[in-house]
Amino acid sequence: METSYSFSNIKFSELKQIVPIKKTNNQDKFVEWFTAPFEINEVDSVFLEKLIKKHSLYVPSYSEEDLKVKFIAPILNQIDFIQENINDFYNASLTAIVNGVELNGFADYMVAKGTDEPEQPYFFLQEFKPSQVGKKVDDQLFAELVAAIAKNDTNLMRGCYIIGQNWRFVIMEKDQNNNYFAYISDQLDSLKIVDLLQIYKNLQIVKLHYCQ
């Protein structure tokens, strides 16, 4: 019987036993993604400003579900990842065998090829409240990205993890020697309009350039 780990419980030390993986804060890795041409229109700018104004006092006290439904989901709906044969999925199931070990569980949010169920993942988002950081939301996302690389038979996957109002984007890359590198972006505060505009742009670029 093969060893199995759930995304929700896996620790980085356990993930390191499955694949050689290293965290890095090399921001150069994000330049192509974060600086790709995209102009946010006035309608979207006003939408984001109103979102901050409406929720800024309450985001720190929102439950995980309230934060997701009231603040995060409206942003994702405004972007609208749904395209021909591409959909977004909440609480989406994912399973993959990596070096003889099964990684499985449910992703908070996944953009993937497929209409009724995810077939080929493109992007992941994980979200937890600050009081739940013991769950290690970053480790959970790392495991999902590693599993998605195996499932897609590719060498790169993108995602983002959210703790309260703070967002960090992640690029997981596997090199030719099967070493994994988790590139972690600088933190963006979604209650600051400059940062939220950058978050929105980053997500739009995922839709336009990386969901294919």
Q: Which residue bears the tokens 């909440």?
A: 90
CA atoms of 141 and 94, how far apart (whole Å): 12
Give pLDDT, residue 135: 62
CB 172 within 8 A of CB 181: yes
Rg for the chain, CA atoms, rounded = 17
Find, among 128, 126, 142, 129, the residue nearest to 10 by Cα.
142
Report domain extents, the chain: 4-210
Tens-digit pLDDT profile for residues 166-206:
999 999 999 999 999 999 999 999 999 999 999 999 999 99
Contact between residue 163 and residue 128 where contact means Cβ atoms under 8 Å apart: yes
pLDDT at 130: 55
128 vs 63: CA distance, rounded Å: 9
Predicted pLDDT at 134: 52
Please state whether beta strands 120-128 and 156-163 pair in parallel, antiparallel, or not at all (unpaired).
parallel
Give the number of other CB atoms < 10 A from CB of residue 1. 4
Residues in the chain: 212
Place of tokens 């419980």: 9
Rounded Cα gap, residues 207 and 212, in angstroms? 9
Please give the chain's pLDDT, 212 residues, in tens: 469 999 999 999 999 999 999 999 999 999 999 999 999 999 999 999 999 999 999 998 998 899 999 999 999 999 999 998 999 999 999 999 999 999 999 999 999 999 889 999 999 999 865 545 456 889 999 999 999 999 999 999 999 999 999 999 999 999 999 999 999 999 999 999 999 999 999 999 999 999 97
CA distance linking residue 75 with residue 182, whole number of Å:
25
